[in-house]
Amino acid sequence: MLQRMSGVFIGALFGTVFVVANAHDPLNPAIGITLRVLAVLTFAGLLALAVLAGRRGGPAPEGDEASRPAWFGGKFGFVVAAEVLLLIGGNLALRGAGAPTETTVAWIALIVGLHFLALTAVWQRRSIAVPGAALTALGVIGLGMAGTRAVAWVPFVSGVLSGVALLGGCAYAIAQAYRSTVRP
């Protein structure tokens, strides 16, 4: 369970970073601050719940969970390496094409979403397909918005909303882990 939770913590941390880094203009400053504070508090709450679940101890893995290969093995490494190459190469291509700087966060959301969709197959966890699909869609929407007068809203759509999707997906995973420690 520790390996799986480390992936959840990484996702929650990146979700928090997405919100904190992108909750700015054109949002009202008070709304931006509120969103940042809520993201940080959510991350802290998720950490606390995960620690509680770890202290309680969970049931032994059953069935295919027990026989799964290591979470962060070779296939995971391949997905992450492809993600890094796409992030760098895509952002360089967008800059070279003269795309607005707001497309950076949209491209990141798209590639991170696709990374989650690939990990759905690697980890055999359908639950990560939901945040993966959400981030992919929010990245595509943001890239589409970049060519419109709504370009200033791309960081909110592709950044803040992607962060909320990541935090929500991580909250679901941690809540499931916590529930599995409750004795009937």
- pLDDT tens track, the chain, 184 positions: 555 577 788 889 999 999 999 999 999 999 999 999 999 999 999 988 877 777 776 554 444 444 455 666 778 888 999 999 999 999 999 999 999 999 999 999 999 999 999 988 888 878 889 999 999 999 999 999 999 999 999 999 999 999 999 999 999 888 887 787 775 5
Give the separation between CA 113 and CA 134, rounded to whole angstroms: 7
Total number of domains in the chain:
1
Structure tokens that stand for 168 in this block = 């929500």
Give the separation between CA 144 and CA 141, rounded to whole angstroms: 5
* Predicted pLDDT at 64: 46
Region at 28 (left for phi over 0; alpha for psi -120 to 50; beta for the rest): beta
Alpha-helical segments (H) within the chain: 2-22, 29-56, 63-67, 74-96, 103-123, 129-145, 154, 161-181
Q: Which domain holds residue 143?
A: 2-181
pTM: 0.86
* Predicted pLDDT at 94: 96
Structure tokens that stand for 184 in this block = 């009937």
User: Smallest Cα–Cα separation from 103: which of 159, 54, 63, 53?
Assistant: 159
| CA 149 to each of CA 91, 97, 146, 152, 153: distance values in angstroms, whole numbers, following the listed order | 21, 18, 8, 8, 9
Does residue 56 sit in helix, strand or coil? helix
DSSP-assigned letter for residue 73: S
Count other Cβ atoms within 10 Å, centred on residue 17. 15
